[in-house]
Amino acid sequence: MSDIELERQVLKALSTVEDPELKRDVVSLGMIQDLKIDNGKVSFRFVLTTPACPLAGSLNESVRKAVAALSWVKSVDIKQDSAVPKAKSAGPQKPVPIEGIKNIIAVGSGKGGVGKSTVSANLAVALAQTGAKVGLIDADIYGPDVPMLLGITSEQKRAIAEKEELAPVEAHGIKAISIGLILPDETPVIWRGPLISQMIEQFLTQMKWGEIDYMIVDLPPGTGDIQLTLVQKAPINGAVIVSTPQDVSLLDATKALNMFLKVEVPILGMVENMSYFICPHCGKQTNIFGTGGVEETAKRLSVDFIGRIPLEPRVREGGDSGNPIVAADPASQTAKEFRNIAAKVAAKLSVQNLASGEK
């Protein structure tokens, strides 16, 4: 048989393998690249739509088995790779994509104190651990916590101050920006709305970000000027809503969720933070703020529930020391839950991007 016929057989075999998330076969999705055949030896690149794909291992094995099943195949060499697609513009009334930034994810909550910044930081680091290029914007101008959460040092802050130019700082494999990089820790920001909006626009469009697969935007609580500026100036690909299980938090989180829906930003999912506490001495679980409320609310609002994070001393300690738990204790159950949340967010964005591209 000719090489063309052999390639046709390989692609036909691979077209039987479907990506469970994208509901399409791997050939039509363009995941099979650089296919080569040499005396029964088949090699190709298997390119996932995100390095955070939760099904990467099983998909790789299915692809290998499909090709190995051909009678003439002696060996299969697969190089697994990933290429995060850039989200398509949502239409003429939507903000144009920002150069170099493929996907923008807003992390919001209705009220303060629910751990939104902690979730943002761990989500960003978890995505970066998969090999993705990740940025984190601290959009909470009045309470910029990201420098502390990421352990950005006084020396790094001093270097920015000496240059007299605000620029992203690298920490834990991600690039981050915050007004807290140029202000003394205890200095309040006493600005009116227009100045805040200008700063957010500067963070988005005037920083030297380079190539970014996922840009996480840690929003302040509520539904005010910063949220409005963000959706007006940037094509937000989705929002993650963080809440504790208690009713007052859920009430405000629902308002934040509905705000995003009104401005046509898809909800990627809801996260229940401080879901429960397990006593380190006796192992008893205590639902300090109640439990399950976020999952029930997500079901009622027809959005995905994507994770439950416990109230755990190590999460607080990691935030205070600038070492997020996904970096400080990657083998812990809480770190695994953060990574699961990151994988679900990345997978949902891949599905959205595929759908928008086909439209």
- Which phi and psi (to 5°) does residue 177 adopt? -135, 140
Whether 167 and 203 have beta carbons less than 8 Å apart is answered as no
The answer to whether the Cα torsion of 122, 125, 127, 133 is positive or negative is positive
Task: Show Cβ contacts of residue 52 under 8 Å, excluding neighbours closer than 6 positions.
Answer: 126, 127, 130, 132, 342, 343, 345, 346, 347
Whether 148 and 253 have beta carbons less than 8 Å apart is answered as no
Task: Please tell me the distance from the alpha carbon of residue 78 to that of residue 81, in angstroms, as a whole number.
Answer: 9
Closest alpha carbon to 326 in 31, 124, 29, 51 = 124
Q: Which residue matches tokens 């949502």?
A: 90
Task: Please tell me the distance from the alpha carbon of residue 210 to that of residue 294, in angstroms, as a whole number.
Answer: 36
Whether 252 and 328 have beta carbons less than 8 Å apart is answered as no
Cα–Cα distances in Å, from 79 out to 73, 119, 156, 314?
17, 32, 38, 37
Q: Assign 178 to helix, strand or coil.
A: coil
Closest alpha carbon to 79 in 35, 118, 22, 116 = 35
Q: Which two tokens stand for residue 253?
A: 């989180």
Task: Show Cβ contacts of residue 262 under 8 Å, excluding neighbours closer than 6 positions.
Answer: none
Whether 197 and 205 have beta carbons less than 8 Å apart is answered as no
Task: Please tell me the distance from the alpha carbon of residue 254 to that of residue 273, in angstroms, as a whole number.
Answer: 15
Task: Please tell me the distance from the alpha carbon of residue 303 to that of residue 155, in angstroms, as a whole number.
Answer: 43
The number of angstroms, rounded, from the C-alpha of 54 to the middle of its chain's C-alpha atoms is 13
Q: Which domains, ranges and CATH numbers included, belong to the chain?
A: 3-82 (3.30.300.130), 104-358 (3.40.50.300)
Name 38's bridge partners.
Answer: 41
Task: Please tell me the distance from the alpha carbon of residue 266 to that of residue 284, in angstroms, as a whole number.
Answer: 38
| Tens of pLDDT, residue by residue, the chain (359 residues) | 788 899 999 999 999 999 998 889 999 999 999 999 999 999 999 999 999 988 899 999 999 999 999 999 999 999 999 999 887 654 445 787 888 999 999 999 988 899 999 999 999 999 999 999 999 999 999 989 999 999 998 888 888 877 777 789 999 999 999 999 888 777 888 888 888 889 999 999 889 999 999 999 999 998 888 998 898 889 999 999 999 999 999 999 999 999 999 999 999 999 999 999 888 888 888 898 888 899 999 999 999 999 999 999 999 999 999 999 999 999 999 999 999 999 999 999 999 888 776 65
**3-state class percentages of the chain: helix first, strand second, coil last, to nearest 5:** 40, 20, 40
The number of angstroms, rounded, from the C-alpha of 102 to the middle of its chain's C-alpha atoms is 12
